[in-house]
Amino acid sequence: MSPRAPRLTLGELVDLTDVLWVRVNDAWSGMGGHTLTAFDLHRGPEGALTGTARHFEDATFQREAAIALPPAATAELLGFLAAAPLVKRRYHAHIDHTDDAPHVEMVLDLGPEASPGGFVTLFSRSQGPYLAPWGAYLRETLYASPGEPIGRALTLLRKAFDPGFEPWGFDLGPAP
């Protein structure tokens, strides 16, 4: 990346306070088999994100749980996403080993005024801390997101589903 490449944040490009729903497919494959946790969350009248998470292992349904992020936790999740740095360039996954492969996609519906079709798509196939770097597609433009904020938002969802979840085996300390 050129040192002069303009860097924005997702929150500078779209108003994430208008999120109507969030869908996440958090899939992993590798030597330990294949897992998928699918989140389907809708914005409630009080601003909370609520819905369900379904977990599968090797294509076998394991469990479903109701997810309810109170307004403060929803604001924290959206704050992480808004802080995500974006650079207009191709996405290149960080891959440093071969025994597991993440494939995560997060789709945000912001309504048609925010982006064509109303959607922002965030994705990662990276093995770095918090699955950084991430990619982002909005307003028909592809961005790379070199930081951890999107992965930190995903961690909030994972912990809502599994309170014992530790982010990918890393001791990453508190959020900046």
On whether the CB atoms of residues 119 and 96 are closer than 8 A, the answer is no
pLDDT for the residue numbered 22: 97
As a whole number of Å, the CA-based R_g of the chain is 16
CA proximity to 93, closest of 83, 81, 105: 105
Strands 7-9 and 85-87: antiparallel
Stretches in the chain below the pLDDT threshold 50: 1-2, 169-176
CA distance 67 to 44: 12
Q: Which residues contact 173 (CB under 8 A, 6 or more apart)?
A: none
User: What pTM was computed for the model?
Assistant: 0.88
Task: Output the pLDDT for position 117.
Answer: 74
Strands 49-57 and 35-43, sheet pairing: antiparallel
Q: Judge contact between 1 and 133, C-beta under 8 A.
A: no
> Among all chains, which residue has been given the structure tokens 């929803």?
74
Strand partners of residue 56:
36, 61
Q: Would you give the distance in Å from CA 33 to the centre of its chain? A: 22
Amino acid 99: pLDDT: 73
The pLDDT value recorded for residue 176 is 40
Instruction: Give the residues across from 23 on adjacent strands.
Output: 40, 107
Q: Which residues on adjacent β-strands are paired with residue 103?
A: 27
